[in-house]
Amino acid sequence: MTAPLPLPPLHRRPLHDSGPLFSPRPPRRLGESALLRVRVPASYPVDVVALRAVIDGEIRTSRLRCVDEDPTGAWWETELRAENPVVRYRFCLLGPGSEDVPAYAWLTAAGLVPWDVSDATDFRLVVHESAPDWVADAIVYQVFPDRFARSASSPADSEGRPAPADLPGWAVPMRWDEEPAVQGELTARQLFGGDLDGVIEHLDHVASLGADTLYLTPVFPAGSVHRYDASTFDRVDPLLGGDEALVRLSAALHARGMRLLLDLTTNHTGDTHEWFRAAQADPASPEAGFYLFTDHPSSYRSWLDAVPSLPKLDLRSPELRRRLVEGPGSVVARYLREPLRADGWRIDVANMTGRHDDVDVAHDVARSIRATLRALDQDGEPSHWLLAEHGHDASADLAGDGWHGTMNYTGFTRPLWAWLTDPASDLNWLGLPTTIPRLPGQAIARTIVDYGAQLSWSARQHSQNQLASHDTPRTRSVVGTRERQIVAVAALAALPGVPTLFAGDELGARGTTGEHSRTPMPWEAIAAEDPERIDTEVLRATRALLGLRRQEVALRQGGLALLHAADDVLVLARTHPDGDVVVVLARAALDGPLELDLDVLPGISGFEDLHAEGPLEASSRGTVLVLRADGPGAVLLRTRRP
């Protein structure tokens, strides 16, 4: 039998990441140089640390210099010039080798490997214009407008059902306390009557969670309550209060120092959209070129080629791009300007936009939208966020100057679900023909690290992390218990990316499908802190953990070092020059004490307690962390430096 290749445990391996401790001077423009630092623990003897970069398609190499050394390890440094918009690099470590230290290894964004690997997981210097600075610090709260809140002036009938002056034909009015349908055509028709003024009336609740950015699913008139089948992009749905209500909401948010993210479909419209009606009426019209007719007027491509009510757009049309995404007259630009003043767009099914058969203009569309945003920036600094919905591997779509980030289902939602799922769950695993598997922490860590290594640090930092959304089961229904949900919230607060909370998750709300999860908010129970109707412990923990994210710069902007992974426990650090934060997550009781000497973290002398949830205890002896857990829990600690 072949002996395993030598590798030390995770907490004894050399460290480098793209955060400010190891990459303190990232380049902003072509020609600027970055300072790159590697920390090599004393238990990992090396003779040479070398840089290998790819510039103009060719390999460049250089040796790092050892600039500082202490009993726990050494700092090695070099500089790398950004001669291309994206420069990939990695480090080679050469030394005498030992039983668990390889004589030859590569350090890439996927970790330490004692064999040759492809460039796919190399670190990256990226000088494409980044997302606005505020995005890395943001905490997002997602609202499905119909289910969040009715305003005080919203009309209702004697039984409490919405009674607007013009009730659309598709709508089935519902009482606020009724449960949404689980599946079927009724899911798109149930109207609970939430509106934008109702959102304004409850911004105190949003702010209490630490959130500073409100993400609204579509607000355009449509043929359904989800509004992804827009009938026009020219105005806000009167059912939500119209343009005036969106102006009021935007002003209320900005007065609090908060921001607004809107939702746009660039892949399709509804079949009642004014463009589609014009296209069907006249094959010679400009609008007929907006869609993919196979037999005018009744046969055409649609979303997934399975939903005729969502005809697919043909983004090769210059006129469509002018109206929808390009320039000051476009839909994209209009909602970012006064008086609406949104702060960015989430693009629905961005992975499908501009793609059909042998046509692929997706990246062109992304660049066009980015250019439209750039033209609205103030003082030449980025101010608007461009976020792509993508349900699987988005790495190929995040490599250039298009989308700033994605909804990170692959690198966050899926691994957290698979680690924390209720063992008895029969829920579907995000579209796969299986229930959610219960995987060990080692597998979860590999997914988080390996998928994150496929992205630039900027794309990862500016992507949304969500435990649930309006398209998925609720977090509580996935994990099954309060205790595991709180561990999930701790991961949301701790990992790189923008924490995004779907309204109601903070209450322990349940839902078995995306439609079933679109639950009306129980405002009376929230005001009364009624433990029979809401989980007040999850609400408390969510406020505390996201508040900690707001407090600790390392949790928002720090790099990421994975320090330990076992079946039931994960230990990681968010590295930062102002002090690291060590995060311990346990999904179950540990068999006994776990001891980790974390002197690999540069210059630390010990730990300070920040926050703890559940029966997980952390104590320390100098740099040695001792962990005990009698059940699911989370601990966060700040490192002390001399």
Average pLDDT in the 126-154 region?
95
Cα–Cα distance measured from residue 241 to residue 239, given in angstroms and rounded to the nearest whole number: 6
Residues 441-480 pLDDT 10s: 999 999 999 999 999 999 999 999 999 999 999 999 999 9
Domain interval for residue 563:
558-640
Give the Cα separation of 248 and 233 in Å (integer).
19
**Which run of H or E residues covers position 594?**
strand 594-597
Residue 31 binned pLDDT confidence (cut-offs 50, 70, 90): very high
Residue 569 falls inside a structural domain: yes
- Residue 97 pLDDT level (bands cut at 50, 70, 90): very high
Question: Using one digit for the tens of pLDDT, what is the confidence trace for 546-558?
Answer: 999 999 999 999 9
Reported as a single tens digit per residue, the pLDDT across 580-630 is: 999 999 999 999 999 999 999 998 989 999 999 999 999 999 999 999 999
Whether residue 228 contacts residue 183, with contact meaning beta carbons closer than 8 Å, is answered with no
DSSP type of residue 291:
B
Residue 25 forms part of a structural domain: yes
Q: Which residues pair with 416 in a beta bridge?
A: none
**Distance (Å, whole) CA 216 – CA 122:** 35
The mean pLDDT of the chain is 96
CA 478 – CA 138 distance, rounded (Å): 25
**pLDDT, tens digit (0-9, with 9 covering 90-100), for 478-525:** 999 999 999 999 999 999 999 999 999 999 999 999 999 999 999 999
* Amino acid identity for residue 31 in this structure: G
Answer yes or no: is 336 within a domain: no
Distance (Å, rounded) from C-alpha 573 to C-alpha 494? 9
Q: Is residue 253 part of a domain?
A: no
- Amino acid at position 552, single letter: E
Mean pLDDT of 223-238: 97
How far is it, in rounded angstroms, from Cα 229 to Cα 318?
22
- The pLDDT confidence band at residue 242, using thresholds 50, 70 and 90, is very high
Q: CA-CA distance, 302 to 348, in Å (whole number)?
A: 14
**What CATH number is given to the structural domain containing 625?**
2.60.40.1180
Task: Tell me how far apart the terminal alpha carbons of the chain are, to the nearest angstrom.
Answer: 47
pLDDT of residue 239: 97
Q: Centre a 10 Å sphere on the Cβ of residue 293 and count the other Cβ atoms it contains.
A: 18
Sign of CA dihedral 128, 133, 137, 139: negative
Tens-place pLDDT, residues 410-446: 999 999 999 999 999 999 999 899 999 999 999 999 9
State yes or no: pLDDT of 1 exceeds 60: no
Other CB atoms closer than 10 Å to residue 612's CB: what's the count?
A: 16
Sequence-distant (≥ 6) Cβ neighbours of residue 523 within 8 angstroms: 149, 202
Q: What are the start-end ranges of the H helices in 495-641?
A: 523-528, 536-551, 553-557
- Domain limit, last residue, from 92, 126, 160: 126
Residue 340: phi and psi, rounded to 5, are -75, -45
Q: Which of 274, 167, 282, 287 is nearest to 231 (CA)?
A: 274
Query: What are 340-351's pLDDT values in tens digits?
Result: 999 999 999 999
Q: Is residue 69 part of a domain?
A: yes
**What is the reported pLDDT for 378?**
80
What pLDDT does residue 2 have?
58
Percentage of the chain lying above the pLDDT 70 cut: 99
Take residue 136 and report the two structure tokens written for it.
């890395």
Q: Which two structure tokens, joined as six digits, stand for 291?
A: 């869609």
The model's confidence at residue 129, banded by pLDDT at 50, 70 and 90, is confident
Q: How far is it, in rounded angstroms, from Cα 446 to Cα 216? A: 33
Total structural domains within the chain: 2
What H or E segment, with its residue span, contains residue 142?
A: strand 140-143
Q: Find out whether 254 and 247 touch, Cβ atoms under 8 Å.
A: no
Q: What is the pLDDT of residues 281-299, one digit of tens each?
A: 999 999 999 999 999 999 9
Rg of the chain over CA atoms, in angstroms?
Answer: 25
Angle between helices 536-551 and 482-494 (to 10 degrees): 10
Closest to 458 (Cα-Cα) out of 400, 500, 392: 400
Closest CA to 414 of 385, 394, 384: 394
Burial 263-288 (b: 16+ CB within 10 A, else e): bbbbbbbbbbbbbbeebbeeeeeebb
Instruction: Name residue 596's amino acid.
Output: L
- 3-class secondary structure, 354: coil
What pLDDT, in 10s, does the model give residues 156-184? 998 999 999 999 999 999 999 999 999 99
The token pair at 381 is 């600094």
**Is 94 buried (19+), middle (13-18) or exposed (0-12) by CB count in 10 A?**
middle
Handedness of CA 110, 114, 119, 122 (dihedral sign): positive
Q: How many CA atoms lie within 13 A of 487 on its CB side?
A: 30
The HSE-up count of residue 185 (CA atoms within 13 Å, CB side) is 5
pLDDT at 640: 81
360-375 tens-digit pLDDT: 999 999 999 999 999 9
Per-residue pLDDT, averaged over 144-148, amounts to 98
pLDDT at 377 over 90: no
Residue 202, judged by CB atoms within 10 A of its CB (0-12, 13-18, 19+), counts as: middle
Angle, CA 295 vertex, CA 291 and CA 301 arms, to 5° = 40
Identify whether 297 is preceded by a cis peptide bond (ω within 30 of 0): yes
Residue at which a domain ends, from 88, 106, 126: 126
Query: What gap in Å lies between CA 585 and CA 481, rounded to an integer?
Result: 15
Nearest partner of 114 among 100, 126, 130, judged by Cα: 100
Query: What pLDDT is attached to residue 23?
Result: 96
Q: Identify the CATH number of the domain in which residue 34 sits.
A: 2.60.40.10
pLDDT above 70: residue 642: no
Q: Is the pLDDT of residue 4 over 80?
A: no
User: Is 533 part of a structural domain of the chain?
Assistant: no
Domain boundary among 126, 159, 192: 126
Domain assignment present for residue 5? The answer is no
Sequence length of the chain is 642
Q: Which amino acid is at 206?
A: V
Is residue 402, in this structure, part of any structural domain at all? no
